[in-house]
């Protein structure tokens, strides 16, 4: 009981966590209700005059074709969160499965998984993603989540493996084995709960990483072929001459949002780290 | 009841597992029903490894461990569970034995889930309370608490209570008091002794000969994975034969006698064991042959075995080994 | 450790600098052309050998007032100077036109052939074409260009079927080429396809026999032909990933006849994106941009750049964007449905919104404005289509397409659901915007069409394999004959892979016959051609297997800070373009006509 | 008196309030004296040892005075303490296994440490080698990385480093608890030898193992729950302990050569109090079989015999 | 050390083998047909039979008419001869030639930005860890920087410095008015074009390293050897130095891990600034379905990352005695 209170106590006093989660909440809210407030659909050619700077009618201005930037923005934000959640979630999940298996089982399985992880770790994710993306010629957002998740896991697996490795040698794990518990159950009931804070951190980092990766893919034209996203907005902006035409309202909001969201996630990560790691609290 | 036959544990090291590291080397002994056997050695002697192998937490590389005549490595699923109903362990670090994020009494709940899923909860709680009382704890004081709210001694008693809830026949007690405060050590030790009187067999793992003497009938002295001396504890305690055992005896800090000065040989460098007698590098009475010849365990008295060339009748101590030079240059001490 | 790190770092920087500086482009050591070098297959000699025709050292910086900066032609780094290379010619635009020349040039603005290497050429009888070369033609290595070279070039197509112009022999009807004298050739045909043959007159580059006759088949078909030796107005100077640089051939045979092209250097820039081109045009770093620049209307209005027309559509039309309908799929196999669809598509919005008025709506005949004399106005008035949602709905209803299940979209007469996809390659943003409009306007008329943007490869596979529903295509460029377009639209026979036309697999023998007939009409018989095209148009508009939508522009915007006297609507003498295949359609004349701006 | 500690009070700052880890510690150590400091875990013995040399957060100086060779140590001012550390007061930490920079050769590390304190390594080197001989370490260790040494060897190495500048006071914090009996004995004997060779003047040996102190210490200070319970020459503590806690503590130690079957020993029932809100009065009250009303008041730490200090009302009574 | 090295080499060999195999699979299992895509651009005037003839011709040229196992073996054989096939996008240039032209730009952009960012970031992080005031400023800034997508920073820099202020060119490796020569004009021009792409990579990575170093230093300052030195009155200078030396080790490992990510950063940066490196080439190859070039780029990137990783492993042996003495089996 006391321990939990202590975490809460620090959590409520940790500026990094509070600011970070505040920003995330604001953007989440925007992504949630924003589309309802948007007056136009993201791809509608709303403004017959074409590109216009922000105004009361078009809050974030319009694109070269007169599409409402605000509408694209809030819908793209939604896509960003979906990618973060699903892609990051999947990456964490795969990382957990492999990390737990390697860390708990040890031995030859560990050697194999470890070698595999190292191999995947060394191969540049983006190069692989590009190739996968090129394979799938019609791409959906979910597909993007899937292949981001399936390539982002190695470092998570490594981190989780290391943690599991150290926890595995603790006597309570031996005791659980002496109680006849099955490995899966030991991992789920004894090891994972001990790493909860760590897993949360891993997830947060995967979340941010997935968002950045998705933005990169989208930007180079390998994003979803049937949806809007913040990365695609930037791609379109660059493609349609927003820079030389000075249409800053087209490329500033999406990048800013990504930076703010990922930055907030990182900030939360550090905040949580400080809460879970008493060593860092004093600094 | 529990018997080790030429048990070895080998770890593979090197890039492709090319080198073998013997943590436990060809160890044999037996624990009879209602008997306490002490396994004595310093860290790295392989004593905990043996405990873990008996508990099936580690696999045996060579040799065989039998429990009531059955090879324990064959146990699987239900038979393994059945084995654990009878054989349990308590470990050195009481705090590490508990999952820090859960309450301490969760260990009982797990036991119920795994072994007695059919026993209703109130009945189980009743049993738990009885077990706690029988290890000298007041259930009202210790239940529903986190591990850090309890003392090391209480936690160790908790674990013993846990073992008692099963139909336990054999307990591996791995250094269970070495991390406890002096004030509670003896209570835990006494508790073990009480269990013995109930007919339980105990493998008592320790580095302290005097504790072994206090509680056990027989003792096994391990050095670097080898049994160097084994037998009835009185004989070992009163007439230690192996130089290592003698050194252990001399090193015990006692309140009734001061140490003799300078009898301890210390390592000057980390040396790789090259064969020969494992104690060769530190042995004050080593012969040349000890560098290349590993003596076998010889019975010098009834129930008193020792592995030392000095007690091996047939050894020719004059055989000149090749390592003489090396030895003289390395084992000088201040 | 830090010290070590720093020094290693410095070394690395230096090393990479040096590598970068000398790696990518030509080493600046001018040498005489080595003509006799047998260019080993796939060894790029250009990296070391440099062409400096006049013997002077090529400069580090191209003098601004002597250099023309253009962009919009090359879509990838230069990789080949082989005028017979199929796929990648766009990369080294200028190889054909600036270096290698043709018998004739063609001026689409006047629909006239301009004698070029040829002095004259004519059908002496229905199966004999006689061509006479100019006198005094030379290759850039100084050797004379004669009828031998032309004969050699033509016969390459007979020898190597893998060359793109081999149909000259297999299809057009050419059977024999005979040398009459040093400048005259007689070509004998059997059942000549006049329209197609004339295409070759200004599309087949003539190569020097003395340099090509000893080359292997592989060299000729796939060799990169570094150090191109041609007869044209410009010579290869250098190239890099993002540019091709040409230098004027001071000894060009055409100078006395056509005049000297004004720019000494042409830097043909490959801009990675329209964005970059736009930035450069605005800054005056580009003299002529042939990129599609979305924002250009505004800039043109404000006077930052010049365009051919002062007002919308600003650009000449270069090709027709047509919507191919897959006639093997239901309900696109129903001509009535197809016609209704033509009325449902909001072309005005495509023009206004997707292109911001940079394009014009296409004539229902599909023919470009330069071919408008072949539009049969009567047929078009009677059968043509305009955007009219109400009418489209009515036509659907009349044909039995009704919304049975109340989802807002019509079902086929047999009650089956209609779900169609309109596609274009992902990333082709103007087309993406256009198919969005197609889909939404069709939906407004009750036809369930969704837009999809597969990647280029998938799109191309679907296009050629006939697995798409409907898709945009514009592969017929400006040409001397309406046959070019109709050959694209109604190509036959239908094969498993349709690689060059009739992607919708429209099968109608009557139409095929009409197109074949058109091909056989001599180009001099304008009346005959008009009659033939009229028939094609009538059948096409009745059957509607394809829907011409708009004309893609001959994108061109320029500034006059360095070069003036660009062609425009007031001075429509030539096409202001550098695109591949357009040098011989006026591009070169534009260069010749340019005048240096008066330096302030 | 080499060391004089007066009313030293050090708290641990935590969220839930101050932990009274050490209160009113007053004692003295004579020149050449090895004082053992013993007690159960959490009794404040490590706090006391550390407070004489370095206070890491969350430890906080509250009150008290420390005089070393007549000079007051500014233990509340970490900066000023630097002048005394290593030269006058030194520490062999409990964590000797990890006390050396893992990526520096040991000799190099010593050199850098010494030079940072303005001592010439080359001058010290012969002495350093002599001391290595003394602790049975080959001179090669100076050319090795810590990881190449075994636990016992690292322990000895740190002992040599800590005592290199011949400090007046050396604090050895639980240095034997992680060692095997044999090494334990050797290390403990080396401590005595250090004193005998006058590498150090006085020494505080913090341990929970009284039997080791019996072997090496001149006097023993017993602590209980953050306060001093008893201090006396070793022989007196072992043979005639005055504080009930000391008595129980000693009697709970397994006597060597005793068998359970022959003689059953017993421990001290109960647990020490939490120091977050320590009880008033005698802190051993709850576990003490002799406790009475007077124990509700805090007993002072008084010298009841020469060099024998104790904090127990019962004892004062019997001496009164 | 030998164990450490053999392990590493084993992993690298395996990775390389796997990567090459994947690489070989790329053109074979991709939807669409590379040759058909290449021929799709052939003049429309050609007729169907000519195209079929050309198709067969090119299939033979690319060796795609052989059985699969034969193709696989040939691929390896060719690879060891430095032959990666012919680019379809840049036909008939051999892939290896195309790569050779792009690599110097990559080296020029990546090596300085990676190493400088690492060097500066670590030093800055170490400084930040020691000053509360600096920490309060550097830390949030670093978070923002690491969270910034590479292309966005690129876009912002290009827009602000390139278009608004007009200080830097925003595309290409050197001016269109220049020919590469050994002149100051050219070198300065090269640097002028290099600066913005370099800056955008540098700035983002800088942030990451700074945070990493700061956190590591704080951990190290809490380590027991730091406490021991404090107890012995060692000056903060020495303690910080030791902490830095220890903290740099995971940062070196981090550098190895980071390489894969940096490739991504370089790619989008090259796209934003039209910088003619491998990333840009890879993207062009993908857009043009040039599988042989994709294959080459992928292989090259892998090879680059593997070699760089290996170099870092060697560096690690130099800086961390534990690897040298065979005590550490596991790290990056």
Domains located in chain E, CATH noted = 2-31+89-326 (1.10.3720.10), 37-83 (no CATH)
Taking CB atoms and an 8 Å cutoff, what residues of chain C touch E44? 475-476, 484, 487-488, 500-501
pLDDT, position C67: 93
Taking CB atoms and an 8 Å cutoff, what residues of chain A touch C352? 48
A262 to chain E: closest CA residue: E147
C356–A50 C-beta distance less than 8 A:
yes
Q: Quick count: other Cβ atoms within 10 Å of Cβ D133? A: 14
B333–D137 C-beta distance less than 8 A:
no
Give yes or no for a contact between D226 and D22, defined as CB atoms under 8 angstroms apart: yes
- Ranges C54-58, D315-319, E257-261: which has the least confidence: C54-58
Cα(first)–Cα(last) distance of chain A, in Å?
26
ipTM given for this complex: 0.80
- The β-bridge relationship of strands D227-233 and D219-224 is antiparallel
- For residue A54, pLDDT over 60 is answered with yes
Helices (H), C413-455: 429-444
pLDDT, position D179: 79
Taking CB atoms and an 8 Å cutoff, what residues of chain D touch A282? 57-58
Q: Quick count: other Cβ atoms within 10 Å of Cβ A166? A: 11
Question: How distant is the Cα of D262 from the closest Cα of chain B, in angstroms?
Answer: 9
Higher pLDDT, B56 or A6: B56
- For residue C43, pLDDT over 60 is answered with no
Name the β-bridge partners of D302: D310
When CB atoms are compared, the residue of A175, A177, A181 closest to B97 is A175
- For residue A43, pLDDT over 60 is answered with yes
Is the CB of B158 inside 8 Å of chain A's CB atoms? no
Q: What angle do CA D303, D304, D309 make, to 5 degrees?
A: 45
B19 to chain E: closest CA residue: E3
D182–B269 C-beta distance less than 8 A:
no
Rounded distance between C-alpha atoms, residue E180 and residue E171, angstroms = 16
Confidence label for B262 from pLDDT (cuts 50, 70 and 90): low
Is the CB of C527 inside 8 Å of chain A's CB atoms? no
Question: How distant is the Cα of D59 from the closest Cα of chain A, in angstroms?
Answer: 13
Give yes or no for a contact between D187 and D176, defined as CB atoms under 8 angstroms apart: yes
Question: How distant is the Cα of A208 from the closest Cα of chain E, in angstroms?
Answer: 8
The pair of structure tokens assigned to D54 is: 């370095």
Percent of chain D with pLDDT over 70: 99
- For residue B18, pLDDT over 60 is answered with no
Question: How distant is the Cα of C271 from the closest Cα of chain A, in angstroms?
Answer: 12
Name the β-bridge partners of C138: C144
E-assigned strands of A40-117? Answer: none
Residue where the block lists tokens 């030859």: A108
pLDDT, position E31: 64
C433–A244 C-beta distance less than 8 A:
no
pLDDT tens-digit series, residues B75-128? 988 899 999 999 999 998 888 888 888 888 889 989 998 899 898 999 999 999
Rounded distance between C-alpha atoms, residue C555 and residue C540, angstroms = 29
Highest mean pLDDT among B306-310, D122-126, E126-130: D122-126
Rounded distance between C-alpha atoms, residue B238 and residue B236, angstroms = 6
- For residue C395, pLDDT over 90 is answered with yes
Torsions phi, psi of C515, nearest 5? -70, -40
Mean local confidence (pLDDT), D191-211: 91
- For residue A74, pLDDT over 70 is answered with yes
Is the CB of C462 inside 8 Å of chain E's CB atoms? no
Highest mean pLDDT among A1-15, C45-59, D174-188, D205-219: D205-219
CB pairs under 8 A between B and D: 138
Is the CB of B322 inside 8 Å of chain E's CB atoms? no
- For residue C511, pLDDT over 80 is answered with yes
Closest by CA to A87, choosing from A252, A200, A211, A190, is A211
DSSP assignment string, B78-115? HHHHHHHHHEEEE-S-TTTTS-TTS-TTHHHHHHHHHH
Name the β-bridge partners of B199: none
- Ranges A196-200, A273-277, B282-286: which has the least confidence: A273-277
Name the β-bridge partners of C471: C324, C423
Is the CB of D15 inside 8 Å of chain E's CB atoms? no
Is the CB of D247 inside 8 Å of chain E's CB atoms? no
Rounded distance between C-alpha atoms, residue D296 and residue D299, angstroms = 9
Name the β-bridge partners of D227: D224
C453–A137 C-beta distance less than 8 A:
no
Q: Omega into C60 within 30° of 0, i.e. cis?
A: no
- For residue C456, pLDDT over 50 is answered with yes
List domains and CATH numbers for chain B.
Answer: 2-224 (3.40.50.300), 243-331 (no CATH)
Q: What angle do CA C114, C118, C120 make, to 5 degrees?
A: 75
The pair of structure tokens assigned to C36 is: 């006799």
Name the β-bridge partners of D17: D14
Task: With residue E5 as reference, give the H or E element that holds it.
Answer: helix E2-29
Give yes or no for a contact between B107 and B147, defined as CB atoms under 8 angstroms apart: no
Task: Please state which CATH class domain D1-32+39-81+218-253+272-320 belongs to.
Answer: alpha beta
pLDDT, position D233: 94
Question: How distant is the Cα of E184 from the closest Cα of chain C, in angstroms?
Answer: 11
pTM: 0.82
Taking CB atoms and an 8 Å cutoff, what residues of chain D touch B250? 185
Confidence label for C295 from pLDDT (cuts 50, 70 and 90): confident
B14–E7 C-beta distance less than 8 A:
no
B176 to chain A: closest CA residue: A171
pLDDT, position C246: 92
Is the CB of A115 inside 8 Å of chain B's CB atoms? no
Question: How distant is the Cα of A130 from the closest Cα of chain E, in angstroms?
Answer: 8
Give yes or no for a contact between D37 and D51, defined as CB atoms under 8 angstroms apart: no
Question: How distant is the Cα of B11 from the closest Cα of chain D, in angstroms?
Answer: 20
Rounded distance between C-alpha atoms, residue E309 and residue E19, angstroms = 15
- For residue C19, pLDDT over 90 is answered with no
pLDDT tens-digit series, residues E204-242? 899 889 888 888 888 888 889 999 999 998 998 899 999
- For residue C54, pLDDT over 50 is answered with no
D250–B187 C-beta distance less than 8 A:
no
Rounded distance between C-alpha atoms, residue B273 and residue C376, angstroms = 103
Taking CB atoms and an 8 Å cutoff, what residues of chain A touch B88? 178
pLDDT, position C545: 94
- For residue D126, pLDDT over 90 is answered with yes
- Considering chain E, what is the average pLDDT of its residues? 82
* SS percent in chain E: helix, strand, coil, step 5: 75, 0, 25
C349–A138 C-beta distance less than 8 A:
no
- For residue B322, pLDDT over 60 is answered with no
pLDDT, position C16: 46
Closest by CA to E51, choosing from A128, C162, A176, is C162
Is the CB of B266 inside 8 Å of chain D's CB atoms? yes
Percent of chain D with pLDDT over 90: 49
Residue where the block lists tokens 């600094």: A283
Give yes or no for a contact between A35 and A216, defined as CB atoms under 8 angstroms apart: no
Cβ-in-10-Å burial (0-12, 13-18, 19+) of A196 comes to: exposed
When CB atoms are compared, the residue of E31, E294, E302 closest to A123 is E302
- For residue C548, pLDDT over 70 is answered with yes
List domains and CATH numbers for chain A.
Answer: 2-32+67-280 (1.10.3720.10)
Give yes or no for a contact between C93 and C85, defined as CB atoms under 8 angstroms apart: no
pLDDT, position C341: 95
- The β-bridge relationship of strands B304-306 and B87-90 is unpaired
A9–D15 C-beta distance less than 8 A:
yes
Count of alpha carbons within 13 Å of B35, Cβ hemisphere only?
17
Using DSSP, state whether A252 is helix, strand or coil. Answer: helix
């Amino acid at each position: 009981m006391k321990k939990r209170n202590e975490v809460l106590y620090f959590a409520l006093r940790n500026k990094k966590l509070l600011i970070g989660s505040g920003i995330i909440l604001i953007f989440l809210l925007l992504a949630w209700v924003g589309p309802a407030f948007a007056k136009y659909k993201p791809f509608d050619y709303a403004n017959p005059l074409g590109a216009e700077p922000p105004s009361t009618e078009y809050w974030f201005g319009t694109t070269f074709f007169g599409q409402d930037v605000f509408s694209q923005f809030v819908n793209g934000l939604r896509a960003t969160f979906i990618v973060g959640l699903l892609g990051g979630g999947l990456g964490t999940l795969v990382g957990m499965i492999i990390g737990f298996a390697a860390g708990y089982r040890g031995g030859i399985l560990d050697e194999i998984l470890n070698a595999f992880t190292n191999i995947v770790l060394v191969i540049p994710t983006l190069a692989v993603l590009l190739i996968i993306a090129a394979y799938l010629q019609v791409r959906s957002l979910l597909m993007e989540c899937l292949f981001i998740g399936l390539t982002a896991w190695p470092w998570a697996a490594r981190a989780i493996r290391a943690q599991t490795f150290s926890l595995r040698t603790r006597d309570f794990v031996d005791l659980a084995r002496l109680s006849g518990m099955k490995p899966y159950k030991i991992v789920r009931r004894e090891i994972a709960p001990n790493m909860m804070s760590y897993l949360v951190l891993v997830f947060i980092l995967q979340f941010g990483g997935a968002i950045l990766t998705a933005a990169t893919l989208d930007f180079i034209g390998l994003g979803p072929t049937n949806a809007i996203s913040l990365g695609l907005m930037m791609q379109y902006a660059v493609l349609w001459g927003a820079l030389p035409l000075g249409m800053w309202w087209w490329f500033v909001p999406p990048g800013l949002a990504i930076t703010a969201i990922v930055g907030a996630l990182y900030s939360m990560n550090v905040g949580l780290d400080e809460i879970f790691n008493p060593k860092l609290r004093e600094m | 009841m529990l018997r080790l036959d030429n048990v070895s544990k080998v770890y593979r090291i090197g890039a492709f597992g090319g080198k073998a590291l013997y943590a436990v080397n060809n160890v044999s002994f037996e624990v009879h029903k209602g008997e306490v056997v002490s396994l004595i050695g310093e860290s790295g002697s392989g004593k905990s490894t043996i405990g873990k192998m008996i508990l099936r937490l580690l696999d045996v590389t060579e040799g065989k461990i039998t429990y009531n005549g059955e090879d324990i490595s064959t146990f699987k699923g239900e038979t393994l569970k059945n084995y654990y109903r009878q054989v349990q362990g308590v470990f050195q670090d009481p705090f590490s034995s508990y999952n820090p994020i859960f309450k301490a009494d969760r260990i009982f709940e797990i036991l119920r889930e795994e072994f007695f899923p059919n026993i209703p909860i109130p009945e189980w709680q009743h049993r738990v309370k009885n077990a706690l009382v029988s290890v000298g704890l007041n259930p009202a004081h210790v239940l529903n608490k986190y591990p850090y709210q309890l003392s090391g001694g209480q936690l160790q008693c908790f674990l013993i209570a846990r073992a008692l809830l099963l139909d336990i026949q054999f307990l591996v007690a791995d250094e269970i008091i070495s991390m406890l405060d002096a004030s509670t050590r003896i209570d835990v030790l006494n508790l073990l002794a009480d269990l013995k009187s109930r007919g339980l067999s105990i493998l008592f793992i320790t580095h302290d000969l005097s504790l072994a003497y206090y509680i056990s009938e027989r003792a096994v002295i391990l050095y670097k994975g080898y049994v160097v001396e084994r037998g009835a504890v009185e004989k070992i305690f009163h007439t230690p034969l192996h130089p290592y055992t003698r050194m252990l005896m001399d090193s015990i800090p006692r309140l009734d006698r001061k140490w003799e000065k300078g009898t301890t040989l210390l390592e000057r460098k980390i040396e790789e064991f090259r064969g020969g007698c494992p104690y060769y590098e530190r042995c004050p009475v080593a012969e040349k042959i000890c560098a290349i010849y590993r003596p076998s365990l010889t019975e010098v008295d009834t129930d008193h075995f020792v592995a030392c060339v000095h007690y091996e009748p047939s050894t020719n101590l004059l055989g000149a080994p090749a390592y003489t030079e090396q030895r003289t240059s390395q084992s000088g001490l201040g | 450790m830090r010290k070590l790190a720093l020094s290693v770092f410095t070394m690395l920087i230096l090393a990479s600098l040096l590598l970068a500086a000398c790696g990518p482009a030509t080493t600046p050591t001018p040498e005489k052309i080595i003509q006799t070098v047998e260019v080993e297959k796939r060894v790029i000699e250009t990296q070391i050998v440099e062409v400096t025709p006049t013997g002077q050292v090529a400069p580090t910086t191209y003098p601004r007032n002597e250099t023309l900066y253009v962009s919009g032609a090359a879509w990838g780094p230069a990789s080949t100077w082989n005028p017979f290379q199929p796929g990648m010619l766009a990369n080294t635009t200028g190889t054909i036109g600036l270096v290698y020349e043709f018998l004739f040039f063609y001026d689409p603005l006047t629909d006239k052939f301009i004698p070029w290497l040829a002095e004259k050429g004519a059908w002496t009888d229905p199966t004999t074409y006689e061509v006479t070369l100019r006198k005094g033609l030379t290759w850039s290595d100084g050797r004379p260009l004669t009828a031998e070279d032309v004969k050699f070039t033509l016969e390459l197509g007979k020898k190597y079927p893998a060359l793109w112009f081999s149909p000259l022999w297999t299809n057009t009807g050419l059977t024999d080429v005979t040398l009459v004298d040093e400048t005259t050739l007689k070509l004998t045909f059997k059942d000549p396809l006049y329209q197609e043959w004339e295409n070759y007159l200004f599309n087949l580059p003539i190569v020097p026999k003395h340099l090509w006759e000893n080359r292997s088949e592989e060299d000729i078909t796939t060799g990169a032909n570094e150090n191109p030796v041609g007869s044209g107005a410009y010579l290869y100077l250098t190239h890099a990933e993002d540019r091709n640089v040409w230098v004027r051939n001071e000894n060009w045979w055409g100078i006395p006849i056509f005049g000297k092209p004004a720019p000494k250097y042409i830097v043909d820039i490959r801009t990675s994106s329209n964005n970059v081109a736009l930035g450069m045009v605005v800054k005056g770093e580009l003299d002529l941009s042939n990129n599609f620049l979305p924002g250009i209307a505004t800039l043109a209005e404000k006077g930052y750049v010049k365009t051919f027309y002062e007002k919308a559509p600003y650009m000449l039309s270069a090709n027709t964007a047509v919507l191919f309908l897959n006639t093997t799929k239901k309900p696109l196999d129903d001509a009535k449905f197809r016609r209704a669809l033509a009325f449902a598509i909001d072309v005005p919005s495509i023009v206004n919104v997707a292109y911001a008025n940079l394009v014009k709506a296409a004539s229902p005949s599909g023919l470009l404005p330069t071919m408008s004399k072949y539009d049969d106005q009567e047929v078009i008035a009677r059968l043509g289509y305009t955007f009219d949602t109400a009418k489209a709905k009515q036509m659907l209803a009349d044909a039995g397409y009704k919304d049975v299940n109340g989802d807002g979209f019509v079902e086929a007469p047999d009650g089956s659901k209609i779900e169609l996809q309109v596609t274009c390659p992902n990333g082709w943003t103007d087309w993406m915007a256009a198919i969005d409009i197609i889909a939404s306007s069709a939906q407004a008329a009750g036809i369930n069409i969704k837009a999809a943007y597969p990647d280029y490869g998938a799109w191309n596979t679907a296009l050629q394999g006939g697995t798409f529903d409907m898709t945009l295509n514009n592969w017929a460029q400006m040409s001397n004959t309406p046959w070019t377009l109709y050959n694209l639209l109604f190509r036959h026979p239908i094969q498993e892979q349709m690689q060059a036309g009739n992607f919708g697999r429209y099968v109608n023998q009557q139409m095929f016959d009409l197109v074949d007939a058109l091909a056989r009409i001599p180009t001099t018989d304008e009346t005959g051609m008009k009659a033939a095209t009229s028939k094609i148009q009538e059948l096409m508009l009745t059957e509607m297997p394809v829907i011409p939508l708009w004309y893609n522009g001959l994108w061109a915007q320029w500034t006059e800070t360095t070069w003036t006297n660009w062609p425009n609507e007031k001075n429509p003498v030539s096409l202001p373009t550098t695109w591949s295949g357009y040098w011989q359609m006026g591009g070169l004349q534009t260069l010749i006509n340019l005048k240096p701006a008066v330096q302030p | 008196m080499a060391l004089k500690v007066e009313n030293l009070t050090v708290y641990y700052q935590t969220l839930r309030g101050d932990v009274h880890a050490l209160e009113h510690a007053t004692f003295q150590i004579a020149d050449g004296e090895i004082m053992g400091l013993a007690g159960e875990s959490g009794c404040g013995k490590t706090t006391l040892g550390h407070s004489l040399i370095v206070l890491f957060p969350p430890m906080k100086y509250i009150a008290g005075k420390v005089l070393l060779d007549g000079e007051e140590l500014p233990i509340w001012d970490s900066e000023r303490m630097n002048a005394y550390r290593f030269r006058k007061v030194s520490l062999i930490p409990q964590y000797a296994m990890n006390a050396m920079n893992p990526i520096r050769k040991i000799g190099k590390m010593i050199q850098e440490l010494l030079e940072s304190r303005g001592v010439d390594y080359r001058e010290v080197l012969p002495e350093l080698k002599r001391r290595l001989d003394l602790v049975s370490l080959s001179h090669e260790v100076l050319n090795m990385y810590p990881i190449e040494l075994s636990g016992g060897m690292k322990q000895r190495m740190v002992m040599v480093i800590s005592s290199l500048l011949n400090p007046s006071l050396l604090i050895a914090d639980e240095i034997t608890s992680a060692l095997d009996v044999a090494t334990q004995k050797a290390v403990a004997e080396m401590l005595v030898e250090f004193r005998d060779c006058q590498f150090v003047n006085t020494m505080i040996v913090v341990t929970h193992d009284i039997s080791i102190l019996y072997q090496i210490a001149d006097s023993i200070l017993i602590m209980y729950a953050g306060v001093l319970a008893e201090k006396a020459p070793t022989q007196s503590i072992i043979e005639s302990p005055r504080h009930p806690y000391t008595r129980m503590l000693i009697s709970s130690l397994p006597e060597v050569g005793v068998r359970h079957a022959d003689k059953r020993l017993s421990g001290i029932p109960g647990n020490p109090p939490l120091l977050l809100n320590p009880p008033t009065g005698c802190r051993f009250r709850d576990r003490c079989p002799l406790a009475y009303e007077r124990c509700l008041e805090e007993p002072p730490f008084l010298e009841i015999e020469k060099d024998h200090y104790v904090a127990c009302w019962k004892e004062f009574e019997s001496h009164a | 050390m030998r164990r450490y090295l053999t392990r590493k080499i084993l992993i690298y060999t395996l990775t390389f083998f796997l990567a090459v195999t994947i690489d070989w699979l790329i053109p074979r299992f991709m939807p669409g047909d590379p040759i058909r895509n290449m021929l799709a651009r052939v003049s429309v005037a050609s007729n169907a039979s000519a195209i079929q003839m050309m198709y067969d011709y090119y299939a033979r040229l690319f060796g795609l008419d052989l059985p699969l196992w034969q193709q696989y073996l040939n691929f390896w054989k060719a690879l060891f001869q430095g032959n990666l096939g012919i680019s379809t996008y840049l036909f008939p240039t051999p892939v290896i030639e195309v790569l050779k032209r792009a690599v110097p730009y990559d080296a020029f952009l990546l090596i300085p930005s990676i190493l400088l960012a690492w060097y500066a970031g670590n030093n800055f992080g170490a400084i930040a860890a020691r000053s509360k005031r600096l920490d309060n400023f550097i830390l949030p800034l670093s978070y923002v920087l690491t969270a910034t997508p590479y292309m966005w920073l690129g876009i912002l820099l290009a827009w602000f410095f390139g278009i608004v202020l007009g200080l830097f060119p925003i595309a290409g490796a050197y001016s269109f008015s220049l020919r590469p020569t050994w002149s100051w004009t050219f070198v300065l021009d090269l640097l002028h074009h290099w600066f913005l792409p370099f800056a955008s990579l540098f700035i983002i990575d800088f942030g990451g390293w700074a945070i990493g170093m700061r956190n590591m230093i704080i951990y190290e300052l809490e380590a027991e050897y730091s406490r021991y030195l404090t107890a012995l009155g060692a000056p903060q200078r020495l303690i910080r130095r030791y902490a830095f030396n220890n903290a740099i080790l995971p940062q070196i490992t981090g550098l190895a891990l980071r390489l894969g990510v940096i490739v991504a950063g370089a790619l989008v940066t090259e796209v934003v600034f039209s910088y003619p490196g491998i990333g840009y080439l890879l993207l062009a190859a993908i857009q043009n379905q040039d599988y042989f070039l994709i294959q080459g780029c992928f292989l090259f990137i892998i090879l680059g990352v593997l070699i760089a990783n290996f170099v870092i492993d060697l560096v690690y042996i130099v800086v961390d005695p534990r690897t040298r003495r065979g005590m550490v089996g596991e790290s990056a």
